[in-house]
Each structure stands twice: as C-alpha cells, then as structure tokens.
Structure 1
Amino acid sequence: MSKQETNDKQDLVSSLPPVEKAAILLMSLGEENAAEVLRHMGPKEVQKIGLCMAKLQNVRKDQVEAVMADFMDVFSNQTALGVGADGYIRKMLVNALGEDKAGTLVDRILTGGNTTGLDTLRWMDSRSVADIIRFEHPQIQAIVVAYLDSDQAAETLSFFDEKVRLDIIMRIASLESVQPHAMQELNDILEKQFSKQTGSASTNMGGSKCAADIMNFLDTNAESTLMEGIKDIDEELAQEISDMMFVFDNLGDVDDRGIQALLREVSSESLILALKGADENVKEKIFGNMSKRAAELLRDDLEAKGPVKLSEVETAQKEILGIARRMADAGEIVLGGKGGEEMV
C-alpha cells in the first residue's frame, strides 16, 4: 500500500465518530462474533451501538476497509502471547465508547465481571434509575445521581419535577465524601452487596464541579431554571457552579492543538448544526484550525443548511461538549474558559 493510500484510509477513519467505527467493525465481524462482543457490554452501550448500526446506510467498501485496517493496526501492536492484553482491551473500548463510557465496562471485564449495586445503575436507562430512587430520602437520591456519569445523571434528573431537581443538585454541590455506612445503606436499598472490601475509607464524590458537570448536560431551559433556583438559595454557590460550567462558546478559548484534536472526533453533520448557533469567535476558531479548502467547504455547508430548530443546535452543541469533556478527562485536550484549569 502506498503512503498516499495509507493517508487516505487514515483520513476516512478519523472523519468517523468513535461509535460509528465500532458499529462498522461489529457489523463486519458477522452476527455470532458481534453478539459475543456485545455480550460484554451493558444495555446502555448496546443500545448506543445498536442504534448506530440501524442508522448505517450505504457504507462504502473503502470505509469498511479503513476501519478494519485501523483496528488491525491497534491489534498488531499487541504480542501473540497476550502480554499487554489489558491495555489493548482498555484502548479498544475507549476508542469505541469514549473514556467515560468505557471506564466501568473495562473494570467489569478485567475484574471478572463483578459490579456493585451502584455500578449496576450505570447500566440501566435513566428513567429506570429515576423510578428506583424516586421515593428514597433526598440525600440517597443525591448520592446516586452524583455517582452516575454526568450525561446519565442529567437525564435522570429530567424525570423529576423542578423542586426535586433543585434539592438534589444543591445536595450534590455540598457533598464532599460519603462514609461507608451511607454507601452500605444505599446498596441495601438496591438489594446488592456494595463490595467485598471491608475498608473504612470514605468515597469522594459530589461537590460544585460534579453539579456543574451534570448541569452541562441539562437542556437549556432546565439549566437556566435550576441555576435561578440555586441563586435564590445560595448566590455564592451559584456563581461557583457557573464558573465551573463549560459552554459551547468557551471552545473559543481552547488552544489550536486542542481544537484540531476535537475536530477529528466530531462528525461533519454535528459540527454544522452546532455552528449554526455559535458565536463568531468560535466559528473563526474552528475555521482557523482547518485547511483552507475544508474551511471553505464548511462555510458553504453552513450557508446551504438554512434555518434549523434551536433544539437541534443545542443537541449538537451538547454532543460536541460531551466529546470535549471526555477528551479533557483523558488528558488529550485542555479546556479553556469556564471550568478550564490555569496553565503553569
């Protein structure tokens, strides 16, 4: 294969969202092999990849070959004796699902499939989680929601009324650690054994940052209403949470290298929708980190797209922000603006 052909295949793979690469790879494996892989995933990931599979249409042969080549390139770096297998599994799942989603799944696989009661909730749909904790003590509700991934936590909150949401987020913001007896109580409620371990160390969770991360995933109206409610109770806390939140326009503060890395993970359709409602500063930041030709094509696509629903723009922006936060957590980029750390 020539160097140009190799570069072309790499471009094809880099333009695909991670979940789409995973879907193409699984569909290429055949039903039995794909089913065996999916057997190790939880309902949330299976649903996400399955939905992507269902939406795949007219996948070109060169795309399939590029995804397979990318997979084999990763695979070939592992030894035939299984040395480094843990690292391979971790990298494969992170590439397919993202750091946040793969974390618990990796632990399940590498530790023999055992999960605690709290971890079990991470594999359930958000409505079911909300139903399970709906009539529990508010502090129990706060601990559960704080333990979930931020996007799942936000979706779980959406199934509660405004007053309950405010109470839960205020409790999350004031959490610092949870003592073992509280965790044991929670696992008793879930009818699961919390852990085989008997250590007395407390579990760190919650806090203003946790509250901010969850609120980042709420829809705009719910986020605004919740923030006003927090201000009424504790204006200083509201400001602290607001300072830690990262919104789409803050992408203009991310360095060029970070923007370029982010663009490799974002689909063209999501980017077009997100930029329809973006600040000019963000648009220019994006254009400035593309080749001249790619920037021209993106500008043309934006003009040709015409008016779109605000809800579609917000959904696309939150999707991109989710990718940005996942990359930031993995140390791949540094987020500027709200929530960004000072560089020294």
Structure 2
Amino acid sequence: MTMLSTIGEPPELKKYSNPQRAAALLLALGKVYGAPIWEQLSTEEVKEVSSTIAQLGRLPSKAVEYLLVQFTSEVSSMASLHGSFETTERLLTGMLSDERVREIMEDIRGPSGRTMWDKLSNVSEVVLAAYLRNEYPQTVAVILTKLKSEHAARVISELPGDFAIDVIQRMLRMEPVQKEIVAEIENTLKSEFMTNLARSQKRDPHELMADVFNALDRATEEAMLSALENCNPDAAERIRALMFTFEDLANLLPASIASIVKNADKRMMALALKGAPEDMRVIFMNAMTERAAKMLREDMAAMGPVRARECDEAQSGLVRLAKILADRGEIVLVDPKSDESMVY
C-alpha cells in the first residue's frame, strides 16, 4: 500500500506506523468494502496485515476518519487502480474450471458475444470504424460481411468517403473466403483490437468512489464528502456528479418505479417516503394500486415522528435496491451524468 499523507493528521495518529495505518484502514472498511483490497494481497501480506490488526488495540475515531478521508482522496485522484486482467484471472483460477475461466476472461476483455462477430456487433460503430480505417480495404470488406447488416451500414457511414466506396466495391465482388484467412482475421481482432479496447475502458476511480459513497448512510456520506472537499474539491465535485441519489429515482420510467415498489420492503418504503417531498411520494404512489397507496399513507401516519436518519437510511436502501434490479436487467436506470434517457 502507498504511504498515506501525514499533512494535517491528528496527533493521535502520529505514533502509528504505515503497516498499522494500513491495518486500521482495512479494519474500518470491513468485509464488504475491504474485500477487493484483500484479494490483491499476497499470502504473506495477508498474514502481516492480519497480525497487525490483532495487535492494533483501540484507535480514536478522529484517527479513523482521517485515514478514510485520506484514502478516498488518494483513490479518487489516482490515474488507475491496481486491478488488471491478469490479477482477475489469477483470482478466478482455482475457484472455477480452466474452461470457465477462459470463457469469463474472453467476455470481460471485450464486448459480450459468443463469437468474435457477435462481439464486434456490440462495439460502437465510431470506435470500430476508427480501427478499420487503418486496415486494408479487402480485410475490412471481409470483416463487414461477417457483421449484422445494420451494424455494417453504420460502420460504413463512419469510414472516409473514398475508402468506404472501395470497401463496398470489394464487398460486391467478394468470393467465398478461405476458413484459414477468416480464422487469422479473428485471431488478429482478438489479440489486438479487443484487448486494447477493453484496456482502454478502465473504470474511472471517481465512479468507484461514487458507488462507495452511495452505499454509505446519508450522514456519513455528507461528512466524508465535506471533508474531501476541503482537501480535494475537484475530486469531491466529480464524485457528487457521478453519484446516483434517491432524488434521481424520480427520473425512472414508471415501469422501473413499479418494479422497485414491488420488490421493496414495506417499512423501508414507508420510511423513505415519509422523509421525501410530496412530489416524490406521488411518483411512487402512482406506481401502486389505489388501495396499496392508501395503506402506505396510513402506515406513514401511524409511525408518528421518526428520526431523519432512519428516513435517510431507508432512501439509501431504495437506491441500493434499484441498482440491484438494474444489475439483474429488470429495470433501466437513468444515468444522472448524461442527457440521454437510457442507461445503466
């Protein structure tokens, strides 16, 4: 792990060594958020950190908060993370069969699809055309004949005019291509284009931290973001812009909101809407039957006064539920950082 900055650190932390700071940080992150870090450590490093945690003793809350803020600041300003295709493959090996590992790695190295031509059909026409314009027209003609006609048409429209005409003429005169030549083209696409494409699409660390902050309760989230704004305002601003919040749920399609209502715990829904503005309540209740909406209002009234923190936690719970449903493909989330209506 890199050495955490000592600028402005609380006096209570000065006596702790770097290994102790790393141990304290992993202890504070816990199982869920610390797991990705533990997975990157060697066996010896795991033993060393575990031993240090066991002997750590009590760490003041101010020191823990400082470590967390420093960690989020450093991660959000990193150019990249340490995860790679190689470390992912090593992690999967041993847990899954070699065949399954190969299948998974082929999928995550490039766009999804069972064959190379399926994968290419899921690549943006702009990206694919930018690659193909540097290839021989005959090679491009072979590749485009293997794609779905709709996608091939979009790619052709992105190619330079004279080059596109040359490719079209070759496609018109195309004769059956030997299997060996097609196989060679496939291998080249896999080893050069797909691998480079996947590596160029590394996740922005600010997106990673936005997901982490989304999972925090509202009070902790605001405290951490406010602290981050003091030491790294640019990173804090980018993270805020990337976060998907309870208010963003109002932008979902009615069918998506109905799916959230169907899958949500009734008490969570009541608490979340009790602390929400009336227009948000109306949006969710419009996705219910008249009887269910009436019962929900009665439940909210019967609760009496509740802590604002409980409402915040329930709203965060609905956001997490929405993301789970989106990951399953059951709903589509509107991307708050895009003007487009599609997304997640």
Q: TM-score, normalised by structure 1?
A: 0.46
Larger of the two Rg values belongs to structure: 2
